[in-house]
Amino acid sequence: MSTKTSSRRARPLFTWALLLCGSLMLAACDHGNSAPPQVTLTKADPATPATLKLYNSTCHACHGNPSSGAPQQGDAKAWAPRLAQGKDTVLAHVVNGYKGMPPMGMCMQCTEDDFTALVEYMSGSKLQ
């Protein structure tokens, strides 16, 4: 009796576990196959002292910390697909937040120009 009950319980659980693993794998495959849009990047101007100061007091906490999962300062490859979305989208993600990225990137005083300069400093390319 107990064996039957255990078997009956195990079967749907096993099916669900399989479905779940399948979903996780599909999600992973889907993520891996998406090709980044093609864009031509222009090298950014050197960061000003004011931009570096803002970076060090705010963005650095995540964009200078690989364990945060955020694209790192100077990692052009990680930034390329983000820059390809265009300036409006990138700035909207900065101001409103996007996934793990908190709104304003913790820079409460930053203007639109500040955010543009910060992204260009971190990515090494002009925001277009």
Partner 1 sequence: MSLTRRELIKHAGAMGLFGLGGSFSKLAQAAARLNPMPWRNWSGAQSCIPDVRSAPENEAMLADLIRKANNTVRAVGSGHSFSPLVPTDGTLVTLNNMSGLISVDPQTMQSEFWGGTTMTDMGEPLLKAGLALPNMSDIDVQSLAGAISTSTHGTGPKFGSYSTTVIGLRMITARGDIIDLDKDHQPELFNAARVGLGSLGIITRVRLQNRKAFRLHQKQWIQKTEELLEDMPRLVRENDHFEMNPILHSDVALAQTQNETTDPHTIAKIDTGDGDKVSKLRMVNTYARNYPKIQADLLNLIVKHIDFPDVQDQSFRVFANVRDQRFNEMEYEIPAEHGPACVREILKTVRERNLDSFFPLEYRYVKGDDIPLSMFQGRDTCAISVHQSYEMSYHQYFAQIEPIFWKYEGRPHWGKLHTLRHKQFAALYPRWKEFLEIRQSIDPTGKFLNGHLEETFGVKAGSCRKA
Beta-carbon-side half-sphere exposure of residue 20 (alpha carbons within 13 Å)? 6
| Distance between CA atoms of residues 87 and 92, nearest Å | 8
| Residue closer to partner 1, measured from CB, 54 or 83 | 54
Tell me the number of residues near partner 1 by CB under 8 A.
31
Give the one residue of 6, 42, 48, 57 binding partner 1; rule: CB under 8 A: 57
Q: Is 50 in the site for partner 1 (CB under 8 A)?
A: no
Nearest to 70 by CA among 94, 86, 38: 94
Among the listed ranges 31-39, 43-51, 72-80, 98-106, the one in contact with partner 1 (CB under 8 A) is 98-106
| Distance between CA atoms of residues 89 and 27, nearest Å | 24
User: Minimum distance between the CB of residue 40 and partner 1, rounded to whole angstroms?
Assistant: 27
The secondary structure element, H or E, covering residue 23 is helix 2-33
User: 43 phi and psi, to 5 degrees?
Assistant: -65, 135
Give the one residue of 36, 61, 74, 89 binding partner 1; rule: CB under 8 A: 61
Enumerate residues 14-33 that contact partner 1 by CB under 8 A. Answer: 16-17, 19-20, 23-24
